[in-house]
Amino acid sequence: MGVEVRVEGLTKSFGRTPVWSDVSLTLPAGEISVLLGPSGTGKSVFLKTLVGLLRPDRGSIWIEGRDLPALPERELYEVRKLFGVLFQDGALFGSMDIYDNVAFPLREHTRKTEAEVRAIVAEKLDMVGLTGAERKLPGEISGGMRKRAGLARALVLDPQIVLFDEPDSGLDPVRTAYLNQLIVDLNQQLDATFLIVTHDINTARTVPDNIGLIYHGHLAMFGPREMLLSSTEPVVRQFLNAQRVGPIGMSEEKDADELAAEAASGQRLAALPPIPLQLRPSDDGPRRAERIPGQWCAANGVTPPPGSFRPVAVEERV
């Protein structure tokens, strides 16, 4: 039914280079969250820390009453069975074909017969639309297929938490749209907690229930989608609207002089664009974590930008 992940005061550095510090957030059970941030802000590092591949310098990650960074290696492997992770390039085992890749976790962790394994693998491959590609090797298929195969493998043990490391990197817009739809549909079917790490704004605006933004070594903001999309906080606003005017510069952060020059030149942040409708499951059925459009804005007395929550063109729905 999804598991809540509570991160408290997490700090990580490589040697003397700090990555981010004092990150605290709660991924609500069963909801889709997106973690955004400019390139090189350590989003992938955060994801790897979350599954215990990297140890943080300080802080805790609470999952089902267990603090991940404090666990000994052996127990860590147990807790990791709750996770399914989609790596950037799928991280498929190059020496095995797609079928064996997806069957691998089942063969290692369960005592299922080959017939049961075949049934489960077929089901998961069907879920990601890869039926018929079982006997192909990872080197023989496209990047998008590798990602979907990686996703099928991540889902095979029925994880409670699914992490996506840049699911949209290296994919064309159409495939990205398909993958986003797949993510929403999977969340509806599995009720697992999802965390997507990305810098694709379109994904961030339409897919998640919650958005977080990492910037300049700390978590700038984390909260419901509508809260961030209607936020006037400069960093959040600049990033979610992909503008050059604002505190984020080409190399991480603009200095005071540049900001002063920007203010003097009279450049202003453009008006907030309308908040789009959230992507719905393709069968139009309910999703447990789904909220009524505009609910957060209404509850918090925020006026959404004009034109928000209006069903726009058909291309929203793939």
The yes or no reply on residue 14 touching another protein (CB under 8 A) is no
Q: What is the 3-state secondary structure (H, E, C) of the chain?
A: CCCCEEEEEEEEEECCEEEEEEEEEEECCCCEEEEECCCCCCHHHHHHHHCCCCCCCEEEEEECCEEHHHCCHHHHHHHHHHEEEECCCCCCCCCCCHHHHHHHHHHHHCCCCHHHHHHHHHHHHHHCCCCCCCCCCHHHCCHHHHHHHHHHHHHCCCCCEEEEECCCCCCCHHHHHHHHHHHHHHHHHHCCEEEEECCCHHHHHHCCCEEEEEECCEEEEEEEHHHHHCCCCHHHHHHHCCCCCCCEECCEECCHHHHHHHHHCCCCCCCCCCCCCCCCCCCCCCCCCCCCCCHHHHHCCCCCCCCCCCCCCHHHCC
Q: Which of 58, 81, 135, 310 binds another protein (CB under 8 A)?
A: 81
Q: Which of 87, 194, 222, 296 binds another protein (CB under 8 A)?
A: 87
Minimal distance in Å, beta carbon 39 to another protein? 17
The yes or no reply on residue 100 touching another protein (CB under 8 A) is no
Q: Which is nearer to another protein, 104 or 309 (CB)?
A: 104
Q: Which of 65, 94, 266, 301 binds another protein (CB under 8 A)?
A: 94
Site for another protein in 59-78 (CB under 8 A): 73, 77-78
Q: Which is nearer to another protein, 91 or 259 (CB)?
A: 91
The yes or no reply on residue 135 touching another protein (CB under 8 A) is no
The yes or no reply on residue 93 touching another protein (CB under 8 A) is yes
The yes or no reply on residue 239 touching another protein (CB under 8 A) is no
> Among the candidate windows 101-109, 183-191, 232-240, 255-263, which touches another protein by CB under 8 A?
101-109
Residues that bind another protein (CB under 8 A): 48, 51, 53, 73, 77-78, 80-81, 83-85, 87-89, 91-94, 104-105, 108-109, 150, 153, 157
